[in-house]
Amino acid sequence: MKKYVAEFIGTMVLTVFGCGSAVAANTLLGNAGQGVPLAFSTLLIAFAFGLSIVAMAYSIGNISGCHINPAVSLGLFLSKKLSATDFIGYLVAQFVGGIVGAAILVFIFGSNKALGTNGFGEASALPISAGVAFVVEIILTFVFVTAILGVTSKAENAPTTGLVIGLSLTLVHILGIPFTGTSVNPARSFGPALLSGVGSVAFSQVWVFILAPLVGAALAAGVYNFLSSEN
């Protein structure tokens, strides 16, 4: 049970600090007449997500492994590093953590109009189609999960694992933010989309940010397992 609680807390923290930084950078400063250049806000948000992972990795990594992402859990499950029971338990904890994290943001900012949601078309900086968004998220998640599978494959990497994973998440955010806002994490996307309202654009588009990361994670597991096999 403790590992599920850890996953809940970790995902909640990631949502609050990652998505909260996106709201602060793009919405609040914009409303105050202090427009933030896209390049700067991209780096700010990317590092907010990455550093959230670093903080949680060294906080709860020894308890749950600090997946705090259904796509990561799927990749590890398909790599036979996570049992089916824990996989289901982790998913529930992560999605609930994402929802609670988004609820905290609504309380803090006093609105559900901008919660760091993901999107495409008019909901993204670059007006891409759903198909392009789907492919972008697959690629980003593939890189992220492959990095995780690689760095966690050797025990001697343990001291720097959290840093590597955090920087890997920062990397994929730097590319992905202008396209989709970067999800690579269904729980981080679903919570803000749900709290934005079931009739919102974010909620209508969230299926991309649930399915695409899972596809990317499955591909990462398949490719990494093939490359690392002895045959």
Superfamily of domain 2-228: Glycerol uptake facilitator protein. (1.20.1080.10)
Return the exposure string of 122-160: e unless at least 16 CB atoms fall within 10 Å of the residue's CB, then b.
Answer: ebbeeebeeebbbbbbbbbbbbbbbbbbbbbeeeeeeee
The whole-number average pLDDT for the span 42-53 is: 92
The whole-number average pLDDT for the span 82-88 is: 96
pLDDT at site 35: 58
* Residue 30 predicted with pLDDT over 70: no
Q: How does pLDDT run across 96-107, given as a tens digit for each residue? A: 999 999 999 999
pLDDT at site 31: 55
Q: How does pLDDT run across 112-146, given as a tens digit for each residue? A: 888 989 999 988 888 899 999 999 999 999 999 99
pLDDT at site 120: 92
Q: How does pLDDT run across 54-74, given as a tens digit for each residue? A: 999 999 989 999 999 999 999
> Can you give the residue ranges of every domain in the chain?
2-228
The whole-number average pLDDT for the span 177-200 is: 95
Percent of the chain with pLDDT over 70: 94
Global confidence as pTM: 0.92
